[in-house]
Amino acid sequence: MSVFAGIQAAPGPPALARWQHARRRGHITLFAVIMLLLALSVWAVQDSVIPGTDWRRMDGFAAVLMGFGRFLPPDPSLLPTLFAPALQTILIAIVGTLLGALMSLTVALLGAANLRPLGAPGYILARGLMTMSRSIHEIVWALIFVSAVGLGAFAGILALACRSVGFVSKLLAEAIERIDMRQVEALRAQGASPLDMIRHAIIPQLLPIGLSTLIFEWDININRAAVLGLVGAGGLGLSFHNQLIASNYAGVTTVLLAILAVILVGEAISVQLRRRIV
């Protein structure tokens, strides 16, 4: 009895009541959130999905299944023609990521709260660029650059670079904010130029996290590069587009499988490389 007495004295009935109350409130919140989401989705389905879809074209469930069946089996005879586009996609991703890295480093230095080399205007500009880069989809970036430099891989590279700045520079800026400032101060005390400080005090401290971020971003950029061909930036996206225009369903599946293979290989390489760095 004496053992239980101690326990009862500590939390006591009020604590239990409080706990039950909090638990009940949690349940009510959860219920309210679920009901709200349910209502929103019913509204969305009724207002957009049902009127916005061409139900007659689908012509029943069996016809839809038949429609998916047309994609099978894939056409392996197309595979040899996909090597060059696959290589292009990978290369576009590599060069785009590298260019994006250069741009990100600049943006990150401007946007790191502890450095602010150009003061508040530079900081605000850098943060604005980061947000802009992330909120504009890669397809839109590609559209802008296709109209600036014409069709081809160059537009794709620029689009990927601009799209990468948001994520990479945000992580880099966070890493810069955590660096050991004494190394920078030491160089400054010896009269080093800002470039020397970046080169010898900041970049060495950023290298591990920077490299791992870049490899991760490259992996994502392969995925994006594969879609940029749809708006004229070459690579596997262009092959996909060609099969699509020709309504060659088996060919579409083949290109899809090729994209899948390239991305899986890229992901495996990325995981291996990052494991070696960290």
Partner 1 sequence: MNRIDVAPILYRRRRRLVLRFVLLLALGAGLWLTLQYLNVRLERFATLFDRLGILLTERYYPPDFEYILRPRFLQSVLETIHMALVATLVGLLLAVPLAWFAAFNASPLPRAGQAAARVVITGARAIHEMIWAIVFIMVLGYGVLAGVLALTLGCIGFAGKLFAEEIESIDDAPVEAMRASGAGSQAVFFFGVLPQVRTAFIGISIYTWDVVFRSATVVGFFGAGGMGWYLRRTADQLQSDRVAAIILLIAALVVISELVSHHARTALEGRSGQRVLER
* SS3 labels along 72-107: CCCCHHHHHHHHHHHHHHHHHHHHHHHHHHHHHHHH
Q: State which residue, 57 or 182, has the beta carbon closest to partner 1.
A: 57
Least Å distance between CB 83 and partner 1?
13
Least Å distance between CB 16 and partner 1?
20
**Which amino acid makes up residue 236?**
L
CA–CA gap between residue 201 and residue 163 (Å, rounded): 28
- Joined together, the tokens standing for residue 70 give 């047309």
Which of the stretches 185-193, 194-202, 203-211, 225-233 binds partner 1 when contact is defined by CB under 8 A? 225-233
Touching partner 1, residues 163-222 (CB under 8 A): 167, 170
How does DSSP classify residue 229? G
**Which amino acid makes up residue 264?**
L
Q: State which residue, 184 or 254, has the beta carbon closest to partner 1.
A: 254
Touching partner 1, residues 106-125 (CB under 8 A): none
Backbone angles phi and psi of 120, in degrees to 5: -60, -40
Least Å distance between CB 164 and partner 1?
13
Binding of partner 1 by 259 (CB under 8 A)? yes
Binding of partner 1 by 88 (CB under 8 A)? yes
**Which amino acid makes up residue 80?**
P
CA–CA gap between residue 35 and residue 189 (Å, rounded): 62
Going from the C-alpha of 221 to that of each of 56, 94, 144, 212, 270, the distances in angstroms are 38, 8, 18, 14, 12
Which of the stretches 4-12, 63-71, 73-81, 190-198 binds partner 1 when contact is defined by CB under 8 A? 63-71
Binding of partner 1 by 272 (CB under 8 A)? no
Total residue length of the chain: 278
Going from the C-alpha of 144 to that of each of 83, 103, 153, 239, the distances in angstroms are 28, 18, 14, 22
Q: State which residue, 59 or 180, has the beta carbon closest to partner 1.
A: 59
- The alpha carbon of 149 is separated from its chain's Cα centroid by a whole number of angstroms, namely 25
Least Å distance between CB 109 and partner 1?
20
- Binding site residues, partner 1, CB under 8 A: 37, 40-41, 43-45, 47-49, 52-54, 57-58, 64, 67-68, 71, 87-88, 91-92, 94-95, 98, 131-132, 134-137, 139-140, 143-144, 147-150, 152-154, 157-158, 167, 170, 223-224, 226-227, 230, 234, 240, 244, 249, 252, 256, 259-260, 263-264, 267
